[in-house]
Amino acid sequence: MNLQVFAQSLIFGIFVGGLYGLAAVGLSLVFGVMKMLNVAHGELLMLGGYATFWLFSLYHIDPFLSLLPSAFVLFLIGMGLYKGLFSLLAKLHEEMKIKNSLLIGFGLSLVLHNLAIRLWTADERSVSVFYSGWGFSLFGLRFPFIRLAGLVLATIVILALQQFLTKTYFGKAIRATTENWESAALMGINIEKTSMISFALGAALAAMAGTIVSVGYAIHPAMGLEWTLKALIVVVLAGLGNIGGAFVAGVLLGAVESVSTLFVGPYMEVVGLVIFLLVLELRPQGLFGKSIG
Amino acid sequence: MLEIERINVSYGDLQVLWDVFFEVKKEEIVALIGPNSAGKTTTLKTVSGLLRPFAGEIRFEGLAMGKMPIHKRVEMGISLVPEGRGLFPGMSALENLELGAFTAKGRNCKEETLAQVYELFPILKKRKKQAAGTLSGGEQQMLAIGRGLMSKPKLLLFDEPSWGLSPLLSKVIYEVIGQINHSGVTILLVEQNVRMALQLAKRAYVIENGRIVKQGDSRNMLNDQHIKEVYLGTESV
Protein backbone atom coordinates (compact mmCIF):
# COMPACT_ATOMS: atom_id res chain seq x y z
CA MET A 1 0.00 0.00 0.00
CA ASN A 2 1.00 3.55 -0.64
CA LEU A 3 2.80 4.93 2.41
CA GLN A 4 1.65 8.44 1.67
CA VAL A 5 -2.02 7.48 1.69
CA PHE A 6 -1.44 5.69 4.96
CA ALA A 7 0.27 8.72 6.54
CA GLN A 8 -2.43 11.08 5.29
CA SER A 9 -5.17 8.88 6.81
CA LEU A 10 -3.24 8.77 10.03
CA ILE A 11 -3.03 12.58 10.15
CA PHE A 12 -6.73 13.08 9.46
CA GLY A 13 -7.45 10.42 12.07
CA ILE A 14 -5.43 12.29 14.66
CA PHE A 15 -7.29 15.50 13.83
CA VAL A 16 -10.69 13.93 14.37
CA GLY A 17 -9.37 11.94 17.32
CA GLY A 18 -8.59 15.12 19.20
CA LEU A 19 -12.29 15.91 19.01
CA TYR A 20 -13.22 12.42 20.20
CA GLY A 21 -10.95 13.10 23.14
CA LEU A 22 -12.53 16.47 23.87
CA ALA A 23 -16.02 14.98 23.69
CA ALA A 24 -14.99 12.11 25.95
CA VAL A 25 -13.37 14.31 28.57
CA GLY A 26 -16.68 16.02 29.32
CA LEU A 27 -18.52 12.72 29.57
CA SER A 28 -15.81 11.31 31.81
CA LEU A 29 -15.83 14.34 34.11
CA VAL A 30 -19.57 14.10 34.64
CA PHE A 31 -19.45 10.36 35.20
CA GLY A 32 -16.59 10.68 37.64
CA VAL A 33 -18.26 13.23 39.88
CA MET A 34 -21.89 12.15 39.66
CA LYS A 35 -21.58 8.44 38.81
CA MET A 36 -24.19 9.10 36.13
CA LEU A 37 -23.75 8.39 32.45
CA ASN A 38 -25.17 11.25 30.44
CA VAL A 39 -26.12 9.59 27.16
CA ALA A 40 -27.39 12.97 25.91
CA HIS A 41 -23.78 14.21 25.86
CA GLY A 42 -23.67 14.02 22.07
CA GLU A 43 -26.81 16.16 21.83
CA LEU A 44 -25.15 18.81 23.99
CA LEU A 45 -22.26 18.70 21.54
CA MET A 46 -24.77 19.15 18.71
CA LEU A 47 -26.30 22.18 20.48
CA GLY A 48 -22.84 23.68 20.89
CA GLY A 49 -22.26 23.21 17.17
CA TYR A 50 -25.54 24.95 16.35
CA ALA A 51 -24.77 27.79 18.76
CA THR A 52 -21.56 28.42 16.85
CA PHE A 53 -23.29 28.00 13.50
CA TRP A 54 -25.96 30.59 14.33
CA LEU A 55 -23.52 33.01 15.89
CA PHE A 56 -21.63 32.83 12.62
CA SER A 57 -24.62 32.95 10.27
CA LEU A 58 -26.51 35.71 12.06
CA TYR A 59 -23.77 37.82 13.60
CA HIS A 60 -20.72 36.79 11.54
CA ILE A 61 -18.79 35.83 14.62
CA ASP A 62 -15.75 33.77 13.72
CA PRO A 63 -16.31 30.16 14.87
CA PHE A 64 -13.01 29.98 16.69
CA LEU A 65 -13.97 33.14 18.59
CA SER A 66 -17.39 31.73 19.42
CA LEU A 67 -15.76 28.77 21.16
CA LEU A 68 -16.14 30.48 24.52
CA PRO A 69 -19.59 32.06 24.01
CA SER A 70 -20.96 28.70 22.81
CA ALA A 71 -19.36 26.98 25.77
CA PHE A 72 -20.90 29.58 28.09
CA VAL A 73 -24.39 29.09 26.62
CA LEU A 74 -24.09 25.32 27.08
CA PHE A 75 -22.69 25.83 30.57
CA LEU A 76 -25.93 27.60 31.50
CA ILE A 77 -28.06 24.99 29.73
CA GLY A 78 -26.08 22.32 31.58
CA MET A 79 -26.81 23.99 34.91
CA GLY A 80 -30.51 24.09 34.04
CA LEU A 81 -30.57 20.43 32.97
CA TYR A 82 -28.79 19.40 36.13
CA LYS A 83 -31.16 21.34 38.36
CA GLY A 84 -34.28 20.27 36.49
CA LEU A 85 -33.46 16.62 35.74
CA PHE A 86 -30.30 15.04 37.07
CA SER A 87 -30.21 16.50 40.57
CA LEU A 88 -33.38 14.55 41.31
CA LEU A 89 -31.33 11.36 41.04
CA ALA A 90 -28.49 12.49 43.26
CA LYS A 91 -29.98 10.95 46.39
CA LEU A 92 -30.58 7.54 44.90
CA HIS A 93 -28.46 4.51 45.58
CA GLU A 94 -25.53 4.14 43.16
CA GLU A 95 -27.03 1.38 41.02
CA MET A 96 -30.45 3.04 40.83
CA LYS A 97 -28.71 6.28 40.02
CA ILE A 98 -26.90 4.99 36.96
CA LYS A 99 -29.98 3.15 35.65
CA ASN A 100 -32.22 6.18 36.05
CA SER A 101 -29.63 8.53 34.62
CA LEU A 102 -29.57 6.34 31.49
CA LEU A 103 -33.35 6.65 31.12
CA ILE A 104 -33.32 10.40 31.66
CA GLY A 105 -30.38 10.75 29.28
CA PHE A 106 -32.11 8.78 26.53
CA GLY A 107 -35.27 10.81 26.96
CA LEU A 108 -33.32 14.03 26.88
CA SER A 109 -31.41 13.00 23.76
CA LEU A 110 -34.69 12.23 21.94
CA VAL A 111 -36.17 15.56 22.98
CA LEU A 112 -33.12 17.58 21.96
CA HIS A 113 -32.72 15.68 18.69
CA ASN A 114 -36.34 16.33 17.67
CA LEU A 115 -36.29 19.87 18.96
CA ALA A 116 -33.29 20.54 16.72
CA ILE A 117 -35.10 19.10 13.68
CA ARG A 118 -38.16 21.20 14.47
CA LEU A 119 -36.18 24.41 14.93
CA TRP A 120 -33.44 24.07 12.39
CA THR A 121 -34.60 21.28 9.98
CA ALA A 122 -32.71 18.04 9.43
CA ASP A 123 -30.26 19.66 6.98
CA GLU A 124 -26.58 19.12 7.40
CA ARG A 125 -24.83 22.40 8.07
CA SER A 126 -21.31 23.61 8.28
CA VAL A 127 -19.61 26.89 9.04
CA SER A 128 -17.63 27.90 5.96
CA VAL A 129 -15.20 30.65 6.74
CA PHE A 130 -13.09 32.47 4.18
CA TYR A 131 -10.02 30.54 5.34
CA SER A 132 -11.72 27.16 4.98
CA GLY A 133 -9.47 26.15 2.11
CA TRP A 134 -6.22 27.28 3.68
CA GLY A 135 -3.57 24.83 4.62
CA PHE A 136 -0.08 23.70 3.86
CA SER A 137 1.72 20.65 2.60
CA LEU A 138 4.63 18.90 4.18
CA PHE A 139 6.36 15.89 2.60
CA GLY A 140 3.43 15.69 0.24
CA LEU A 141 0.97 15.46 3.11
CA ARG A 142 -1.93 17.89 3.42
CA PHE A 143 -2.54 19.84 6.63
CA PRO A 144 -5.80 21.83 6.36
CA PHE A 145 -5.65 24.89 8.58
CA ILE A 146 -9.07 24.58 10.22
CA ARG A 147 -8.54 20.97 11.23
CA LEU A 148 -5.10 21.66 12.57
CA ALA A 149 -6.48 24.63 14.52
CA GLY A 150 -9.24 22.38 15.84
CA LEU A 151 -6.72 19.88 17.18
CA VAL A 152 -4.58 22.62 18.70
CA LEU A 153 -7.62 24.19 20.37
CA ALA A 154 -8.81 20.83 21.70
CA THR A 155 -5.35 20.24 23.15
CA ILE A 156 -5.30 23.69 24.78
CA VAL A 157 -8.74 23.14 26.30
CA ILE A 158 -7.69 19.77 27.73
CA LEU A 159 -4.47 21.20 29.16
CA ALA A 160 -6.41 24.08 30.69
CA LEU A 161 -8.86 21.62 32.20
CA GLN A 162 -5.98 19.57 33.56
CA GLN A 163 -4.51 22.68 35.19
CA PHE A 164 -7.90 23.64 36.61
CA LEU A 165 -8.36 20.18 38.11
CA THR A 166 -4.89 19.93 39.63
CA LYS A 167 -4.10 23.52 40.62
CA THR A 168 -7.30 25.15 41.86
CA TYR A 169 -9.19 24.41 45.04
CA PHE A 170 -12.43 23.86 43.16
CA GLY A 171 -10.71 21.53 40.71
CA LYS A 172 -9.32 19.50 43.59
CA ALA A 173 -12.81 19.37 45.07
CA ILE A 174 -14.04 17.88 41.79
CA ARG A 175 -11.31 15.22 41.85
CA ALA A 176 -11.95 14.49 45.51
CA THR A 177 -15.67 14.05 44.85
CA THR A 178 -14.78 11.68 41.99
CA GLU A 179 -12.61 9.55 44.24
CA ASN A 180 -14.84 9.42 47.32
CA TRP A 181 -17.87 11.67 47.57
CA GLU A 182 -18.60 10.88 51.20
CA SER A 183 -15.12 11.91 52.28
CA ALA A 184 -15.34 14.95 50.03
CA ALA A 185 -18.53 16.01 51.78
CA LEU A 186 -16.78 15.52 55.12
CA MET A 187 -14.13 18.03 53.97
CA GLY A 188 -16.84 20.65 53.72
CA ILE A 189 -17.27 20.34 49.96
CA ASN A 190 -20.82 21.08 48.81
CA ILE A 191 -21.48 17.99 46.71
CA GLU A 192 -24.66 19.35 45.14
CA LYS A 193 -22.88 22.48 43.92
CA THR A 194 -19.83 20.52 42.77
CA SER A 195 -22.06 18.15 40.80
CA MET A 196 -23.92 21.02 39.16
CA ILE A 197 -20.74 22.83 38.13
CA SER A 198 -19.20 19.57 36.87
CA PHE A 199 -22.27 18.78 34.79
CA ALA A 200 -22.27 22.31 33.37
CA LEU A 201 -18.56 22.03 32.68
CA GLY A 202 -19.19 18.73 30.88
CA ALA A 203 -21.81 20.48 28.73
CA ALA A 204 -19.39 23.35 28.02
CA LEU A 205 -16.69 20.88 26.95
CA ALA A 206 -19.21 19.18 24.65
CA ALA A 207 -20.04 22.59 23.21
CA MET A 208 -16.39 23.31 22.46
CA ALA A 209 -16.09 20.00 20.67
CA GLY A 210 -19.30 20.85 18.78
CA THR A 211 -17.89 24.20 17.78
CA ILE A 212 -14.80 22.64 16.28
CA VAL A 213 -16.91 19.97 14.55
CA SER A 214 -19.09 22.67 12.97
CA VAL A 215 -16.04 24.24 11.30
CA GLY A 216 -13.90 21.35 10.15
CA TYR A 217 -16.73 18.89 9.62
CA ALA A 218 -20.55 19.18 9.61
CA ILE A 219 -23.39 19.27 12.11
CA HIS A 220 -26.96 17.94 11.92
CA PRO A 221 -29.67 17.12 14.49
CA ALA A 222 -29.01 13.37 14.42
CA MET A 223 -25.29 13.58 15.12
CA GLY A 224 -25.69 13.23 18.88
CA LEU A 225 -25.86 9.46 19.22
CA GLU A 226 -22.79 8.94 17.08
CA TRP A 227 -20.76 11.34 19.25
CA THR A 228 -22.06 9.88 22.50
CA LEU A 229 -20.96 6.49 21.25
CA LYS A 230 -17.49 7.75 20.28
CA ALA A 231 -17.12 9.48 23.63
CA LEU A 232 -18.23 6.33 25.43
CA ILE A 233 -15.74 4.14 23.55
CA VAL A 234 -12.97 6.59 24.40
CA VAL A 235 -13.95 6.74 28.08
CA VAL A 236 -13.88 2.94 28.28
CA LEU A 237 -10.56 2.85 26.42
CA ALA A 238 -9.01 5.36 28.78
CA GLY A 239 -10.53 4.06 31.98
CA LEU A 240 -13.34 5.81 33.82
CA GLY A 241 -12.54 9.20 35.21
CA ASN A 242 -9.11 9.41 33.58
CA ILE A 243 -9.05 12.87 31.95
CA GLY A 244 -5.57 12.95 30.44
CA GLY A 245 -5.96 9.38 29.25
CA ALA A 246 -9.28 10.20 27.58
CA PHE A 247 -7.58 12.64 25.26
CA VAL A 248 -4.83 10.20 24.29
CA ALA A 249 -7.40 7.43 23.83
CA GLY A 250 -9.47 9.76 21.64
CA VAL A 251 -6.54 10.44 19.35
CA LEU A 252 -5.81 6.72 19.29
CA LEU A 253 -9.39 5.84 18.31
CA GLY A 254 -9.43 8.52 15.62
CA ALA A 255 -6.16 7.26 14.16
CA VAL A 256 -7.18 3.59 14.24
CA GLU A 257 -10.57 4.30 12.67
CA SER A 258 -9.12 6.46 9.95
CA VAL A 259 -6.36 4.05 9.01
CA SER A 260 -8.71 1.08 9.13
CA THR A 261 -10.83 2.78 6.45
CA LEU A 262 -8.06 1.84 4.05
CA PHE A 263 -8.55 -1.83 4.85
CA VAL A 264 -12.22 -2.28 5.68
CA GLY A 265 -13.75 0.74 3.98
CA PRO A 266 -17.15 1.73 5.32
CA TYR A 267 -16.90 -0.78 8.18
CA MET A 268 -14.44 1.41 10.05
CA GLU A 269 -17.12 2.22 12.64
CA VAL A 270 -17.08 -1.45 13.57
CA VAL A 271 -13.38 -1.29 14.35
CA GLY A 272 -14.03 1.17 17.17
CA LEU A 273 -16.75 -1.03 18.60
CA VAL A 274 -14.59 -4.14 18.38
CA ILE A 275 -11.84 -2.34 20.28
CA PHE A 276 -14.48 -1.28 22.81
CA LEU A 277 -15.51 -4.91 23.38
CA LEU A 278 -11.94 -6.16 23.50
CA VAL A 279 -10.98 -3.59 26.12
CA LEU A 280 -14.03 -4.40 28.22
CA GLU A 281 -13.17 -8.08 27.99
CA LEU A 282 -9.41 -7.96 28.49
CA ARG A 283 -8.69 -4.75 30.37
CA PRO A 284 -11.88 -3.45 32.00
CA GLN A 285 -10.01 -0.75 33.91
CA GLY A 286 -9.05 0.82 30.56
CA LEU A 287 -5.73 1.22 28.80
CA PHE A 288 -4.49 3.87 31.22
CA GLY A 289 -6.61 3.03 34.28
CA LYS A 290 -5.32 1.48 37.45
CA SER A 291 -6.51 -2.03 38.09
CA ILE A 292 -9.70 -2.26 40.06
CA GLY A 293 -9.55 -3.18 43.72
CA MET B 1 -21.00 21.11 73.29
CA LEU B 2 -22.62 18.18 71.48
CA GLU B 3 -25.98 16.88 72.62
CA ILE B 4 -27.57 13.87 71.00
CA GLU B 5 -31.24 13.75 71.90
CA ARG B 6 -32.93 10.40 71.36
CA ILE B 7 -32.07 9.99 67.70
CA ASN B 8 -33.59 7.23 65.60
CA VAL B 9 -31.88 6.32 62.35
CA SER B 10 -32.71 3.76 59.70
CA TYR B 11 -31.26 2.47 56.44
CA GLY B 12 -34.40 2.16 54.34
CA ASP B 13 -36.76 -0.03 56.34
CA LEU B 14 -34.10 -1.26 58.71
CA GLN B 15 -33.89 0.79 61.86
CA VAL B 16 -30.39 0.72 63.39
CA LEU B 17 -30.44 3.40 66.09
CA TRP B 18 -33.15 3.54 68.75
CA ASP B 19 -33.40 6.63 70.95
CA VAL B 20 -29.64 7.01 71.09
CA PHE B 21 -28.62 9.79 73.45
CA PHE B 22 -25.35 11.11 74.79
CA GLU B 23 -23.51 14.28 75.47
CA VAL B 24 -19.97 15.50 74.85
CA LYS B 25 -18.84 18.45 76.90
CA LYS B 26 -16.30 21.00 75.79
CA GLU B 27 -12.69 19.71 75.75
CA GLU B 28 -13.74 16.25 76.88
CA ILE B 29 -12.80 12.90 75.39
CA VAL B 30 -15.84 10.67 75.23
CA ALA B 31 -15.76 7.08 73.98
CA LEU B 32 -18.64 5.26 72.39
CA ILE B 33 -17.95 1.56 72.65
CA GLY B 34 -19.81 -1.52 71.62
CA PRO B 35 -19.61 -4.68 69.53
CA ASN B 36 -19.58 -4.92 65.75
CA SER B 37 -22.66 -3.50 64.02
CA ALA B 38 -24.05 -2.08 67.25
CA GLY B 39 -24.54 1.29 65.55
CA LYS B 40 -21.29 3.09 66.41
CA THR B 41 -20.39 4.10 62.89
CA THR B 42 -24.02 4.94 62.14
CA THR B 43 -24.00 7.29 65.12
CA LEU B 44 -20.90 9.11 63.91
CA LYS B 45 -22.29 9.30 60.37
CA THR B 46 -25.44 10.86 61.76
CA VAL B 47 -23.49 13.41 63.80
CA SER B 48 -21.41 14.37 60.76
CA GLY B 49 -24.50 14.50 58.52
CA LEU B 50 -23.91 11.56 56.17
CA LEU B 51 -27.14 10.13 57.60
CA ARG B 52 -30.24 11.91 58.86
CA PRO B 53 -32.23 10.88 61.92
CA PHE B 54 -35.96 10.41 61.27
CA ALA B 55 -36.66 11.33 64.87
CA GLY B 56 -34.67 13.09 67.57
CA GLU B 57 -32.30 16.01 67.38
CA ILE B 58 -28.60 16.77 67.35
CA ARG B 59 -27.41 19.98 68.97
CA PHE B 60 -23.98 21.47 68.53
CA GLU B 61 -23.18 24.47 70.71
CA GLY B 62 -26.89 24.77 71.33
CA LEU B 63 -27.84 24.83 67.66
CA ALA B 64 -30.20 22.19 66.24
CA MET B 65 -28.53 20.63 63.20
CA GLY B 66 -30.37 17.40 62.48
CA LYS B 67 -31.28 18.68 59.01
CA MET B 68 -28.16 20.68 58.29
CA PRO B 69 -26.13 19.55 55.23
CA ILE B 70 -22.74 17.93 55.86
CA HIS B 71 -20.61 20.80 54.57
CA LYS B 72 -22.32 23.27 56.90
CA ARG B 73 -21.49 21.07 59.86
CA VAL B 74 -17.83 21.08 58.84
CA GLU B 75 -17.95 24.87 58.72
CA MET B 76 -19.41 24.87 62.22
CA GLY B 77 -16.42 22.91 63.48
CA ILE B 78 -17.25 19.22 63.30
CA SER B 79 -14.76 16.96 61.58
CA LEU B 80 -14.88 13.18 61.13
CA VAL B 81 -11.90 10.88 60.69
CA PRO B 82 -13.90 8.11 59.04
CA GLU B 83 -13.77 4.37 59.41
CA GLY B 84 -11.25 2.91 56.99
CA ARG B 85 -9.75 6.41 56.69
CA GLY B 86 -11.69 7.48 53.59
CA LEU B 87 -8.67 9.05 51.92
CA PHE B 88 -8.54 10.19 48.31
CA PRO B 89 -6.17 7.42 47.20
CA GLY B 90 -5.21 8.84 43.82
CA MET B 91 -4.37 12.27 45.18
CA SER B 92 -1.12 13.19 46.89
CA ALA B 93 -0.80 13.33 50.66
CA LEU B 94 -0.48 17.10 50.46
CA GLU B 95 -3.61 17.38 48.32
CA ASN B 96 -5.49 15.29 50.88
CA LEU B 97 -4.39 17.71 53.59
CA GLU B 98 -5.26 20.74 51.46
CA LEU B 99 -8.75 19.36 50.93
CA GLY B 100 -9.08 19.04 54.68
CA ALA B 101 -8.74 22.81 54.75
CA PHE B 102 -11.50 23.32 52.18
CA THR B 103 -13.71 25.49 54.39
CA ALA B 104 -13.11 29.25 54.53
CA LYS B 105 -11.89 28.95 58.10
CA GLY B 106 -9.52 26.13 57.20
CA ARG B 107 -8.16 27.95 54.16
CA ASN B 108 -7.41 31.12 56.13
CA CYS B 109 -4.89 29.40 58.34
CA LYS B 110 -3.88 26.57 56.02
CA GLU B 111 -0.11 27.02 56.18
CA GLU B 112 -0.14 27.34 59.95
CA THR B 113 -2.27 24.23 60.48
CA LEU B 114 -0.20 22.34 57.94
CA ALA B 115 2.94 23.12 59.96
CA GLN B 116 1.20 21.82 63.09
CA VAL B 117 0.16 18.63 61.33
CA TYR B 118 3.71 18.07 60.07
CA GLU B 119 4.90 18.59 63.63
CA LEU B 120 2.51 15.91 64.89
CA PHE B 121 3.36 13.55 62.03
CA PRO B 122 6.79 14.42 60.56
CA ILE B 123 6.54 11.45 58.17
CA LEU B 124 3.69 13.17 56.29
CA LYS B 125 6.03 15.97 55.24
CA LYS B 126 8.36 13.40 53.67
CA ARG B 127 5.45 11.70 51.94
CA LYS B 128 3.62 14.83 50.79
CA LYS B 129 4.10 14.23 47.05
CA GLN B 130 3.18 10.53 47.27
CA ALA B 131 -0.29 9.29 46.34
CA ALA B 132 -2.28 8.60 49.51
CA GLY B 133 -3.17 5.09 48.31
CA THR B 134 0.51 4.07 48.25
CA LEU B 135 1.18 4.97 51.90
CA SER B 136 1.44 2.31 54.61
CA GLY B 137 -1.52 1.68 56.91
CA GLY B 138 -0.07 3.71 59.73
CA GLU B 139 0.82 6.61 57.46
CA GLN B 140 -2.67 6.53 56.00
CA GLN B 141 -4.21 6.80 59.45
CA MET B 142 -1.87 9.69 60.26
CA LEU B 143 -2.88 11.37 57.02
CA ALA B 144 -6.57 10.87 57.80
CA ILE B 145 -6.12 12.43 61.25
CA GLY B 146 -4.03 15.27 59.85
CA ARG B 147 -6.66 15.91 57.21
CA GLY B 148 -9.33 15.97 59.90
CA LEU B 149 -7.36 18.65 61.76
CA MET B 150 -6.96 20.88 58.72
CA SER B 151 -10.47 22.34 59.04
CA LYS B 152 -9.58 23.59 62.54
CA PRO B 153 -12.38 21.60 64.16
CA LYS B 154 -13.83 22.21 67.59
CA LEU B 155 -15.10 18.65 67.74
CA LEU B 156 -13.18 15.79 66.17
CA LEU B 157 -14.94 12.46 65.64
CA PHE B 158 -12.80 9.34 65.35
CA ASP B 159 -14.18 6.13 63.89
CA GLU B 160 -11.94 3.20 64.84
CA PRO B 161 -8.60 5.02 64.73
CA SER B 162 -6.75 1.80 65.64
CA TRP B 163 -8.33 -0.12 62.75
CA GLY B 164 -5.78 -2.26 60.95
CA LEU B 165 -2.84 -0.99 62.98
CA SER B 166 -0.27 -2.87 65.04
CA PRO B 167 -0.56 -2.46 68.83
CA LEU B 168 2.53 -0.24 68.77
CA LEU B 169 1.15 2.06 66.08
CA SER B 170 -2.22 2.14 67.81
CA LYS B 171 -0.46 3.41 70.91
CA VAL B 172 1.25 6.15 68.90
CA ILE B 173 -2.06 7.20 67.35
CA TYR B 174 -3.75 7.24 70.75
CA GLU B 175 -0.99 9.41 72.19
CA VAL B 176 -1.55 11.87 69.36
CA ILE B 177 -5.30 11.88 70.00
CA GLY B 178 -4.48 12.79 73.60
CA GLN B 179 -2.21 15.62 72.40
CA ILE B 180 -4.91 16.93 70.06
CA ASN B 181 -7.31 16.98 72.98
CA HIS B 182 -4.76 18.88 75.09
CA SER B 183 -4.62 21.55 72.41
CA GLY B 184 -8.31 22.21 73.10
CA VAL B 185 -10.15 19.99 70.61
CA THR B 186 -13.13 18.05 71.97
CA ILE B 187 -13.09 14.39 70.97
CA LEU B 188 -15.71 11.73 70.42
CA LEU B 189 -14.15 8.34 69.88
CA VAL B 190 -15.74 5.19 68.52
CA GLU B 191 -13.68 2.09 69.11
CA GLN B 192 -13.72 -1.67 69.25
CA ASN B 193 -10.47 -1.71 71.13
CA VAL B 194 -12.36 -1.05 74.34
CA ARG B 195 -9.46 -1.07 76.74
CA MET B 196 -7.50 1.58 74.84
CA ALA B 197 -10.55 3.73 74.41
CA LEU B 198 -11.47 3.57 78.09
CA GLN B 199 -7.94 4.37 79.17
CA LEU B 200 -7.93 7.53 77.07
CA ALA B 201 -11.49 8.77 77.52
CA LYS B 202 -12.90 10.46 80.59
CA ARG B 203 -16.43 9.18 80.07
CA ALA B 204 -17.92 6.46 77.95
CA TYR B 205 -21.21 5.19 76.62
CA VAL B 206 -21.89 1.60 75.67
CA ILE B 207 -24.08 0.97 72.65
CA GLU B 208 -25.58 -2.46 71.96
CA ASN B 209 -28.11 -3.31 69.24
CA GLY B 210 -28.61 0.34 68.47
CA ARG B 211 -29.39 1.39 72.03
CA ILE B 212 -27.31 3.08 74.71
CA VAL B 213 -27.19 0.52 77.52
CA LYS B 214 -24.62 2.00 79.86
CA GLN B 215 -22.90 5.28 80.56
CA GLY B 216 -20.42 6.55 83.06
CA ASP B 217 -16.89 7.31 84.06
CA SER B 218 -14.28 5.36 82.07
CA ARG B 219 -12.48 4.17 85.20
CA ASN B 220 -15.64 2.68 86.59
CA MET B 221 -16.35 1.08 83.24
CA LEU B 222 -12.97 -0.66 83.26
CA ASN B 223 -14.02 -2.34 86.50
CA ASP B 224 -17.58 -3.03 85.46
CA GLN B 225 -18.43 -6.73 85.48
CA HIS B 226 -20.44 -6.67 82.23
CA ILE B 227 -17.76 -4.68 80.40
CA LYS B 228 -15.05 -7.01 81.67
CA GLU B 229 -16.88 -10.12 80.56
CA VAL B 230 -18.05 -8.90 77.17
CA TYR B 231 -15.39 -6.46 75.99
CA LEU B 232 -12.19 -6.91 77.93
CA GLY B 233 -12.13 -10.70 77.92
CA THR B 234 -10.62 -13.05 80.46
CA GLU B 235 -7.24 -11.37 80.52
CA SER B 236 -8.64 -8.50 82.60
CA VAL B 237 -7.88 -8.35 86.29
The pLDDT tens digits of the residues spanning A40-53 come to: 999 999 999 999 99
Domain boundary among B152, B178, B202: B152
Task: Indicate the pLDDT class of residue B236, thresholds 50, 70 and 90.
Answer: very low
Question: Could you tell me which chain B residue has the CA closest to the CA of A173?
Answer: B99
pLDDT at A290: 60
CATH of the domain at B19: 3.40.50.300
Whether residue A241 has pLDDT greater than 80: no
Determine, yes or no, domain membership for B161: yes
Phi, psi dihedral angles at A135 (to 5 degrees) = 165, 180
Helix (H) or strand (E) holding B5: strand B2-11
**Does B50 lie at the interface with A, CB-CB under 8 angstroms?**
yes
- Looking at the DSSP bridge assignments, the partners of residue B63 are B60
Q: β-strands B29-33, B78-81: how paired?
A: unpaired
Residue ranges of A 100-129 with Cβ closer than 8 A to chain B = none
Q: β-strands B186-191, B155-159: how paired?
A: parallel
| B67, B91: one domain | no
| B115, B174: one domain | no
**Does A168 lie at the interface with B, CB-CB under 8 angstroms?**
no
- How many structural domains comprise chain B? 2
Task: Indicate the pLDDT class of residue B3, thresholds 50, 70 and 90.
Answer: very high
| B19, B31: one domain | yes
**Does A87 lie at the interface with B, CB-CB under 8 angstroms?**
no
**Does B103 lie at the interface with A, CB-CB under 8 angstroms?**
yes
| Contact criterion met (CB < 8 Å) for A187 and B91 | no
Helix (H) or strand (E) holding B140: helix B137-149
Determine, yes or no, domain membership for B189: yes
| Contact criterion met (CB < 8 Å) for A186 and B88 | no
| B100, B215: one domain | no
What does the pLDDT look like over A139-194, one tens digit per residue? Answer: 888 899 999 999 999 999 999 999 999 999 999 999 999 999 999 999 999 999 99
Between A88 and A133, name the one with better pLDDT: A88
Comparing A136-140, B41-45, B212-216, B232-236, the range with the smallest average pLDDT is: B232-236
Q: Using the 8-state DSSP alphabet, how is residue A290 labeled?
A: P
| B72, B170: one domain | yes
pLDDT at B222: 87
**Domain extent at residue B128:** 87-152
| B119, B178: one domain | no
Whether residue A292 has pLDDT greater than 50: no
Domain boundary among B131, B152, B173: B152
Question: Could you tell me which chain A residue has the CA closest to the CA of B76?
Answer: A188
| B45, B92: one domain | no
Determine, yes or no, domain membership for B24: yes
What does the pLDDT look like over B25-46, one tens digit per residue? Answer: 999 999 999 988 899 999 999 9
| B190, B234: one domain | yes
Whether residue A240 has pLDDT greater than 50: yes
d(Cα A198, Cα B133) in Å, to the nearest integer? 24
Whether residue A97 has pLDDT greater than 90: no
Shortest Cα–Cα distance, B227 to chain A (Å):
32
| Contact criterion met (CB < 8 Å) for A179 and B88 | yes
d(Cα B51, Cα B55) in Å, to the nearest integer? 12
Which among A175, A179, A188 has the least Cβ separation from residue B102?
A: A188
Residue B170: which of B154, B194, B149 has the closest Cα?
A: B194
Determine, yes or no, domain membership for B201: yes
pTM given for the model:
0.91
d(Cα B220, Cα B227) in Å, to the nearest integer? 10
pLDDT at B16: 93
What does the pLDDT look like over B132-160, one tens digit per residue? Answer: 999 999 999 999 999 999 999 999 999 99
The amino acid that residue A9 corresponds to is S
pLDDT at A293: 34
| B62, B169: one domain | yes
| Contact criterion met (CB < 8 Å) for A169 and B103 | no
Respond yes or no on whether ipTM tops 0.85: yes
Determine, yes or no, domain membership for B129: yes
Q: Is B198:B33 a contact under the CB 8 Å cutoff?
A: yes
| B20, B57: one domain | yes
Determine, yes or no, domain membership for B82: no
d(Cα A198, Cα A193) in Å, to the nearest integer? 8
pLDDT at A188: 94
Comparing A116-130, A150-164, A234-248, the range with the smallest average pLDDT is: A234-248
Determine, yes or no, domain membership for B115: yes
Whether residue A82 has pLDDT greater than 60: yes
Chain B positions touching A172 (Cβ under 8 A) are 91, 95, 98-99
- Helical segments of chain A, H only: 3-34, 41-59, 67-84, 94-120, 145-167, 169-179, 181-186, 191-216, 223-238, 243-264, 268-282
pLDDT at A98: 85
